[in-house]
Amino acid sequence: MAEKSIFKTLPTKVSRGISICIYSNPGVGKTTMASTLPEGETLIINTEAGIAPLMGTKHVIFNLQEAVINGGNIETVMNDLYKSIRTGEYKFTSVVIDNVSELSDQLVTHYTKSHKKDFPELREYGDTSWKFREWVHNWRDLVEMGINVVFNAWEQDYEITQTEGTVITRTCPKVGKANVSSMCGLVDIVGHLEVHEKTGQRWVRIGPSKQWITKSQFKGLDVGEPANFPVIINKVKAYDYSIGGEKNG
């Protein structure tokens, strides 16, 4: 029997899950945006973020801190949960980690305690960065199983030194300076969640910006999109690269 070829041509439409990082200041509506994903098919991993916007919905919630309190540690709990989803034991079409800023902070605390220290030092921050990048890689790769993966985050200012030595400041997801490039580079879409001053409507800035770090590696999206994950995901998947547009999708 012939071996399955590792070489293949790409489809004309996106046929896998989409990975997205959405960031903003606390209270802007990241969890509310997560609630736009299909009920009963979406797992929201609560890392101590506010769950009030999810009250009354049928979304499946995994309370990370409750699982840690009931036994194990944050590493074991997250690794076991990932394995259960990866192997198909738990089946979801979308997974949201709400949010990775808190997850990163909790990892620092975990390593500080496990090393029997009162305060984190260079070793703890290094261990956190390594584990955080591993987790982003692993959870992002669920898209190959057709699962949409969302990383919610707070925002922070990030100083970038350009080739000529000029330092510019941009706003990015709060995941620690060492992890910003990995977080933004690994996912398909990076969007800054904002609220329209006059209408109060939430929207996601995805197009190029001098102030915010944003991106979309796929075509089909506008500079700004409504704060609705199904709308964003469907537009990406409807875009037909063979004709250069989504109208015939």
Q: How many CA atoms lie within 13 A of 136 on its CB side?
A: 27
9 assigned to some structural domain: no
Judge contact between 88 and 51, C-beta under 8 A: no
Other residues' Cβ atoms within 10 Å of the Cβ of residue 72: 13
Mean pLDDT of the chain: 91
Q: What 3-state DSSP class applies to 85?
A: helix
Percent of the chain with pLDDT over 90: 73
What CATH number is associated with residue 194?
Answer: 3.40.50
Q: Could you read off the pLDDT of 57-83 as tens digits, one per residue?
A: 889 999 999 999 887 899 999 999 999
Closest alpha carbon to 233 in 17, 84, 77, 5? 17
2 assigned to some structural domain: no
Global confidence as pTM: 0.91
pLDDT band at 6 (very low <50, low <70, confident <90, very high): confident
1 assigned to some structural domain: no
Residue 203's pLDDT is 96
Residue with the larger pLDDT of the pair 130 and 168:
130
Residue 245's pLDDT is 66
168 assigned to some structural domain: yes
For the record, the structure tokens of 150 come out as 């969302």
**What whole-number distance in Å separates Cα of residue 105 and Cα of residue 93?**
27
Residue 102 is which amino acid?
A: E
pLDDT band at 117 (very low <50, low <70, confident <90, very high): very high
107 assigned to some structural domain: yes
214 assigned to some structural domain: yes
Q: Which domain holds residue 117?
A: 19-238
pLDDT band at 249 (very low <50, low <70, confident <90, very high): very low
10 assigned to some structural domain: no
Rounded mean pLDDT, 21-37: 95
Number of domains in the chain: 1
Mention every residue, 6+ apart, whose C-beta is less than 8 A from residue 47: 64, 65, 97, 98, 99, 100, 102, 103, 106
**What whole-number distance in Å separates Cα of residue 90 and Cα of residue 81?**
9
Closest alpha carbon to 151 in 180, 178, 122? 180
Angle in degrees, 0-180, between the axes of helices 100-114 and 74-86, rounded to the nearest 10: 130
Strands 94-98 and 155-161: unpaired
pLDDT band at 200 (very low <50, low <70, confident <90, very high): confident
Query: Which residue is listed with tokens 């080739």?
Result: 163
Per-residue pLDDT at 3 exceeds 70: no
Strands 19-23 and 148-153: parallel
**What whole-number distance in Å separates Cα of residue 174 and Cα of residue 186?**
15
7 assigned to some structural domain: no
Strands 94-98 and 167-173: unpaired
Per-residue pLDDT at 133 exceeds 90: yes
SS (H, E, C) 212-230: ECCEECCCCCCCEEECCHH
